[in-house]
Structure 1
Amino acid sequence: MKNLTRKDFLRIAGFGGAASLMAPSLAFRRAAEKFGIGATFILWGYGADNLEPALEDMSKLGFHAFETFGQVIEEWEKNRGGFSKVVEKHGVPIVSAYCWADVVDPSKRKEETEKLTRWAKLLKQSGGKLIEFGCANVDRDGYDYREHKNNILESMNTFAKAVTDQGLVFALHPHTGTAIESQEEVYFAMENADTRYVKFGPDSGQLQKGGADYLKIFSDFMPLIEHVHLKDYEGGDNGWLGYCPLGRGKQEVEKLLNMLVDNKDEMAGKIMYEQDYDGRIEGRFTNYESAKISRDYLSKLGYEFKG
């Protein structure tokens, strides 16, 4: 399979014709049949101690799957009696793990590849299907990706090949504060990476917060999307790093979901509700309340949840 060019993206992922005229209710009924909505666990925190509280709430709310971090899986597997046991206890299957590595420093590539391979093996044995990959943080003050573009591509392609060799999908997740944040950086990465191995796992809220046109990016790279973080964004210092429950912010959530259901028959991963945990400021809703507001919003659109 050769790499897709941007021209190919635009040709394949055009959004004209009858699909765009579909009544919203019918579109969302189709979406409910195709995509069971999952949730990432970071609303509840970022460490191994936060896993069970997150799974307890997700189970009560009927989310179809969850995502955690690679190091959380490793911590539970090594030191807490086994990751699969706690997952089975709560009945919410894992679909993906968010994993990161340094793409700028080539001296770290071998070590980072070994780390990602280790996490990929643990995820696979737990039933997961996809590594949601984020570049490690960089000092954005004065950062110019063009000074690192060869290392970025070589590292990302190496990591993606290693994950693919384990039988999982590798999906790039642009993230604020990292080596790939801005719209220009996203297009550079996705237009030049080896797309036999590098797929796309965009986060609508992260893209918007980073100043990008998230709807255009979803549209242009639709053929490569294998996983989605669905995140609303209201801005401000609100206890969730500016993010908020679905339907309460600036995101065109319904439009984005229509785009996905009209143009994706299947994905290796899922559409995942996400709302970042801050920890410095208490939000106006509890974790459970935030997740329930988002679950109820999606239910009104026709998405179905377990239980």
Structure 2
Amino acid sequence: MKNVNAYNRRDFVKMAGMAGAAALIAPNFAFEAARKRRFQIGATFILWGYGPDNLEPALKDISSLGYHAFETFGHVIEDWEDKRGGIAPLIEKYKVPMVSAFCQTDVLDPSKLKSETEKLVRWTKLLKANGGKVIEYCAGGKRTSGFNYKDHAKYMVESMNVFAKAVTDEGLVCALHPHTGTPIETEEEIYYIMNNLDTRYMKFGPDVGQIQKGGGDPVKICKDFVSLIEHVHLKDYAGGDNGYLGYSPLGEGKVKLKEILDLLEKRRKHMAGMIMFELDYDAKIKPAYTPHRAAEISRDYLAKLNYRFSEKQA
């Protein structure tokens, strides 16, 4: 696919330019020389909440902390486009590009195939129009008690092939994101689906914390599907009711993050997307940190591993 490396060649140069300007003001977090650069790190917005109103507060912090890009939901982009004057002015205001969108469609109900495909294509076009490269795709549909993926396997594979091809036909990359509480949660489910999908269209976008929470081995799964990885949610997992649904700021959980990052560094030149820090938000339990502080702790953990951010520590 011709678009796979386009993000690295064109947009990274553009983004590096933005960061370079910031570095003149804040040399403590300046980029290294190009030959020494490692992955640029983005952030998803859900640490600040899940709705359209949460996007601008998220971008304010994401920008001030020096993250290089952001990800939001397809429906949030649509809301900003339809009701708030478009998302482009917001991107320009905070100087943080949008790389990806998290999008979910139903893979259990065949009667929804047409409408779900149309929805996904609509979101894909909006993401593309605003400079995005990757649909971080999540299989949707209610996972009831006693769920057995084998009862739905045929349609799950068929529908996801349709969804992924629709995204690919629009010129973007579709990367499967296994997620707890969805039809693709466990290690067995991940291997079955990835081994049966048409990977000309559906690539892999693991969330390493979600895989850990679902009982899988994120290091092993990333190794086994590394050639298909196009985008990553970098998330730690500590367990317990902590205001983050059991997840934690990077470095405070049990996911072998450094091992995964070292593996991904070998893949980075071939990825359409990037690594996105993510931490879930739980409205029912007050967490230990503010969103800004949790994102700062995670950024500082990555900085100790020699990842560089575009502005000084706030």
Q: Taking structure 2 as the reference length, what is the TM-score of the superposition?
A: 0.87
The match for 1:65 is: 69
Q: In the alignment, does 2:168 pair up with 1:157? A: no
The match for 1:39 is: 43
The match for 1:189 is: 193
Cα separation, partners in 2 of 1:261 and 1:29, compared to 1, 3 Å: farther
CA offsets, 1:238-258, max 9 Å, x none? 000001110111111111111
Q: Which piece of structure 1 moves more, 259-268 or 171-180? A: 259-268
Cα RMSD of the aligned pairs, angstroms, is 1.6
Identity of aligned residues (%): 60
Kindly provide the amino acid, as one letter, of the partner of residue 141 in structure 1.
S
Q: Is the 8 A contact 1:96 1:123 kept in 2?
A: yes
The match for 1:292 is: 296
Q: Is the 8 A contact 1:34 1:265 kept in 2?
A: no
Kindly provide the amino acid, as one letter, of the partner of residue 236 in structure 1.
G
Cα separation, partners in 2 of 1:170 and 1:29, compared to 1, 3 Å: same
For the residues of structure 1 that align with 2:162 and 2:299, how far apart are their CA atoms?
37
The match for 1:176 is: 180
Q: Is the 8 A contact 1:199 1:225 kept in 2?
A: yes
Q: Which runs of 5+ in 2 are unaligned?
A: 2-31
Kindly provide the amino acid, as one letter, of the partner of residue 246 in structure 2.
G
Moved >4 Å (runs of 4+): 28-32
1:1-307 alignment runs, 5 A limit: 33-307=37-311
SS at structure 1 position matched to 2:243: coil
For the residues of structure 2 that align with 1:31 and 1:230, how far apart are their CA atoms?
24
Q: Taking structure 1 as the reference length, what is the TM-score of the superposition?
A: 0.89
CA offsets, 1:101-154, max 9 Å, x none? 001111100000000000000000000000000011423411111111110011
Kindly provide the amino acid, as one letter, of the partner of residue 54 in structure 1.
A
For the residues of structure 1 that align with 2:246 and 2:190, how far apart are their CA atoms?
21
For the residues of structure 2 that align with 1:217 and 1:82, how far apart are their CA atoms?
38
CA offsets, 1:50-81, max 9 Å, x none? 00000000010000000000000000000011
Paired residues in the alignment total: 281
CA offsets, 1:140-171, max 9 Å, x none? 41111111111001110000000001100000
Q: Is the 8 A contact 2:98 2:132 kept in 1?
A: yes
Return the offset for 1:32: 6.7
